[in-house]
């Protein structure tokens, strides 16, 4: 299993707090999300293939998000940095936002999902930088993350600031405009991937899976060092 990564995409930001990295494990993520207050009607599941129809058929519907963890190569950093240089800093806030995005200011805390309701309610009217600070100030989030980090099959680093080689990003559908967004706390803001999903369409649509294939196979055509989870209907609920 993979653990989450440290280095931002040349953001120049100095992390103020460090968390022990989480294993990319649907059981760990589901337990953490439910502890924070996510509805138990949803759960994380492994996505074992993006090409095998039989394996894709095992994923419960609807799928409301994907979480991708992958190795960040030099090519990825260069391409992302070039893309970021063309983008303006995101300053969105309030109920009119198409998606809610958090800047990552906690080392090894790539946005996990009560505590969750309190975090979101507090964060909604804030600017991105103030939102990031509100996450840093959440003792409940820190305690829940620390407990989850001790679970799974991977060895747990003794030092939360130890650098690891993988990075988490999330893909979600906006409930405002139906667009597919890439959420990465190390970017300048949410990335609108210019894919529109109609009412009733979830993230298992071919056009979304094609985006994921591009991320996974973009380096050399056959990247095996990735892990993909879907946040989907909880069939055990």
- Of 110, 145, 170, 179, the catalytic one is 110
Q: Six-digit token pair at 195?
A: 């894919």
What predicted TM-score, i.e. pTM, was given to this entire model? 0.76
Burial readout 111-134 (b: 16 or more C-beta within 10 A, e: otherwise): bbbebbeebeeebeeeebeebbeb
CB contact set of 27 (below 8 Å; sequence gap of 6+): 44, 151, 152
The DSSP symbol for 94 reads: S
Active site residue 110: yes
Q: Are 67 and 228 in contact (CB under 8 A)?
A: yes
- Of 34, 77, 145, 167, the catalytic one is 167
Question: What is the chain's pLDDT, residue by residue, as a tens digit (237 residues)?
Answer: 444 434 444 444 455 556 666 778 899 899 988 888 888 999 999 999 999 999 999 999 999 999 998 776 677 767 777 777 777 776 666 777 877 655 554 343 344 447 877 888 888 888 888 888 888 888 888 788 778 777 766 655 565 555 656 778 899 999 889 999 999 888 888 999 999 999 999 999 999 999 999 888 775 555 567 889 999 999 886
Sign of CA dihedral 117, 65, 98, 80: positive
Q: Six-digit token pair at 76?
A: 């990825």
């Amino acid at each position: 299993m993979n653990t989450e990564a440290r280095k931002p995409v040349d953001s120049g930001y100095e992390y103020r707090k460090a968390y022990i990295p989480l294993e990319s494990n649907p059981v760990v993520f589901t337990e953490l999300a439910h502890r924070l207050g996510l509805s138990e009607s949803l759960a994380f599941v492994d996505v074992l293939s993006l090409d095998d129809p039989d394996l894709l058929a095992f994923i419960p519907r609807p799928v409301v998000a994907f979480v991708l963890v992958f190795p960040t190569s030099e090519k990825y950093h260069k391409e992302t940095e070039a893309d970021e240089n063309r983008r303006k800093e995101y300053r969105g806030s309030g109920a009119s936002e198409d998606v809610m995005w958090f800047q990552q200011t906690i080392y090894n805390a790539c946005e996990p999902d009560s505590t969750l309701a309190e975090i979101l309610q507090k964060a909604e009217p804030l600017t991105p930088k103030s939102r990031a600070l509100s996450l840093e100030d959440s003792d409940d989030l820190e305690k829940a993350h620390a407990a989850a980090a001790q679970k799974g099959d991977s060895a747990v680093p003794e030092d939360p600031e130890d650098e690891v080689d993988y990075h988490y990003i999330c893909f979600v559908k906006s409930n405002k405009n139906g667009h597919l967004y890439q959420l990465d706390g190390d970017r300048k803001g949410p990335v609108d991937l210019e894919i529109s999903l109609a009412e009733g369409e979830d993230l298992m649509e071919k056009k979304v899976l094609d985006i994921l294939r591009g991320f996974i196979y973009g380096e050399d055509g056959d990247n095996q060092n990735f892990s993909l989870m879907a946040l989907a209907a909880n069939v055990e609920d």
